[in-house]
Structure 1
Amino acid sequence: MAFKKILSVTGADHSDQDVAIAARLCAEVGAHLSVLILSPPPLVMSPPPLSDGTSEWPRQRAHAIAALEQRYSQIERFSQDAASLEKISREIHKLLRATWRCYDVDVVNCDQASVGDAVRARALCNDLTIVGPALLNDINVGPLVINGSLFDTGKPVLVVPEGAEATLSPRRVLVGWDSRVEASRSVREALHLLAGAEEVRIALVDHEATCTGSGAEPGADIATYLTRHGARVSVDLLASAGKPVAMILAQHAIDTSANMIVMGAYGSRRLRERLFGGVTRWIVGKPPLPLFLAR
């Protein structure tokens, strides 16, 4: 499926780096860009406690002063957040007017517990969500965006780490395959990318232990499927030698000069933050590669 509508998520304290990456990818394939800016929730102030004029007055007065000081601090912080939000919104509009005119920008006020729901509501009506370097570096918001856009929607996510040359027209793609449903969905969601690539390598790690495929040879079934969709496919059988599968796939992608890794996203709700951390640890000390994930 071609990507016609792409979501980019950013925060009031982020730069416009992630949006610039998404805008460039949208221009590459002619897609509409939807930008979601996550803003801190509006400040809700409760009235100060009333004094009844009794002997408790000194203590109540001290409490009232402390409460007022706290509110002034909250107002100052909220004013700073609002100014930061206004600034990034202006920068994003300016950037998109100059680079890509098919876009919309939305701001949502939400606390940390509501980030996933806010992202999910918008990801459901987009073909792909781009998770860029700023979100990857935000350990508080990043995992929540991954949860909302990937795990809670069934829609794919393209993770673009710092320094990666992201493209939606990759020449060489590595597919991590293990015959699970998640791997099948990642291939289906990336089918348009795979069919247009010059080379697609299907990588099976410890295939005898992890795959029961229906083909005569390991990987023959998925290779046949992709070939019938126009992809140019080869199959690589890899041994883990006790190393994590993710590490083996990442290194093989580098060794084969892949422009992108496509794989399924695994894990229960309890393990999702581990996935997010694992994604960022993959590329430490290695050339960064975009990672296409589907659940």
Structure 2
Amino acid sequence: MSYKTILVVIGISQFESDLRAAANLCASDGAHLSVLPIKIATLPPVGDFAAMSAAWLDERASDIEDLGKAVKEARNVLYGLGVSHDVVGRYAESMWLEHDLGERARYADVTVIGSSLRSDERLRAGVVEGALFHSARPVLLAADLQSATLRPRKVLLAWNASIESARAAREALDVMRNAERVNVVLVDPKPASGAASGKSGGEPGADIAAYLARHGIKVTVDRLPGAGLRVEDVLNQHALDTSADLIVMGAYGHSRIREKVFGGVTKAMIDVPVVPVLMVR
């Protein structure tokens, strides 16, 4: 699908680079840029002391003032860049952050998250999970949005035949169709034996390659050994080796709780996106 509305989520400081990069993404596709500056609301104090309550109200008022300044600053940055845009701030209660973000993201084709949220990891985690779990839209993550593109020449599609990876492949069809090359990457795939079909089939990667080829996509299947390395390390290294501009992958094939406790590919790729990553849940 084409991207006609791009949502970029920012904090209240150090976001100019992300804004300009998101504006460039929109300019290349003639898309509208929707900007969402977010500040997590200060939690109420524990207890019934009037002095504490007054301090809390003062702090919230200060937060809201800072958010208003960020909205004005964002508008000033975008003024004159020649892209259609809107900027609406959100003072979000922490317990509703994911739902609020997801609701807003449903009205965009993709949510973009860059480095400006790094200064508040609690906010970044809520934004990422809200976009993935509550928007039904893809999320584009990059350590530096200046390096991100929705018109990549070379794409790495991480494939494990899961529902999540199937959704990611379907969502990124247009992106991959316009690419010079797509490497479908499977790490330690296990071919089915005998009459069993197995989710990867008798020749892992062949089915998804045929599906993509019918859409006019130039596909190469790479079956890679893990060699004792973590899957995310294999994917990242292969993305670098093949000069991939974008990794496309499904997100959270395991539960969030399991990933937070034990780690996982999704969490690792979110925490440190070596190459820009387009994720779909």
TM-score, with structure 1 as normaliser? 0.82
Contact preservation (8 Å) 1:5, 1:31: yes
Structure-2 separation of matches of 1:136 and 1:227 = 38
Indicate the residue corresponding to 1:205 in structure 2.
Answer: 187
Contact preservation (8 Å) 2:18, 2:145: no
Indicate the residue corresponding to 1:236 in structure 2.
Answer: 222
Structure 2 residue 268 is the aligned partner of structure 1 residue 278: yes
Q: Provide closer, same or farther for how the CA distance between residues 239 and 142 of structure 1 changes in structure 2, counting only shifts above 3 A.
A: same
Indicate the residue corresponding to 2:195 in structure 1.
Answer: none
Indicate the residue corresponding to 2:209 in structure 1.
Answer: 223
| 1:146-225 equivalences in 2 (<5 Å) | 146-162=128-144, 165-208=147-190, 212-214=199-201, 217-225=203-211
Structure-2 separation of matches of 1:221 and 1:3 = 27
Contact preservation (8 Å) 1:164, 1:290: no
Structure-1 separation of matches of 2:26 and 2:236 = 26
Q: Which moved more, 1:161-170 or 1:145-154?
A: 161-170
What RMSD in Å do the two structures reach over aligned CA positions? Answer: 2.6
Structure-2 separation of matches of 1:100 and 1:23 = 9
Q: Which structure has the larger Rg?
A: 1
Residue 135 of structure 1: CA displacement? 2.1
Residue 268 of structure 1: CA displacement? 1.7
| 1:1-295 equivalences in 2 (<5 Å) | 1-41=1-41, 67-68=50-51, 70-71=52-53, 73-74=55-56, 76-162=58-144, 165-208=147-190, 212-214=199-201, 217-266=203-252, 267-271=254-258, 273=260, 274=263, 277-283=267-273, 288-295=274-281
Residue 144 of structure 1: CA displacement? 0.8
Structure-2 separation of matches of 1:33 and 1:42 = 28
Residue 224 of structure 1: CA displacement? 1.2
SS of residue matched to 1:207: coil
Residue 246 of structure 1: CA displacement? 1.0
SS of residue matched to 2:38: strand
SS of residue matched to 2:190: helix
Give the aligned residue type for 1:123: A
Contact preservation (8 Å) 1:124, 1:155: yes
Give the aligned residue type for 1:140: R
Cα deviation 1:19-45 (Å, max 9, x = unaligned): 322221111111111111223549999
Q: Which moved more, 1:119-128 or 1:263-272?
A: 263-272
In structure 1, the gaps of 5 or more residues are 50-62
Residue 159 of structure 1: CA displacement? 0.4
Q: Provide closer, same or farther for how the CA distance between residues 280 and 182 of structure 1 changes in structure 2, counting only shifts above 3 A.
A: closer
Count, aligned residues = 270
Give the aligned residue type for 1:213: S
Indicate the residue corresponding to 1:54 in structure 2.
Answer: none
Structure-2 separation of matches of 1:201 and 1:75 = 54
Give the share of equivalent positions with the same residue, in percent: 37
Residue 11 of structure 1: CA displacement? 2.4
Structure-1 separation of matches of 2:155 and 2:138 = 16
Contact preservation (8 Å) 1:136, 1:280: no
Q: Provide closer, same or farther for how the CA distance between residues 256 and 43 of structure 1 changes in structure 2, counting only shifts above 3 A.
A: closer
SS of residue matched to 2:126: helix
Give the aligned residue type for 1:31: A
Give the aligned residue type for 1:166: A
SS of residue matched to 2:176: helix
TM-score, with structure 2 as normaliser? 0.86
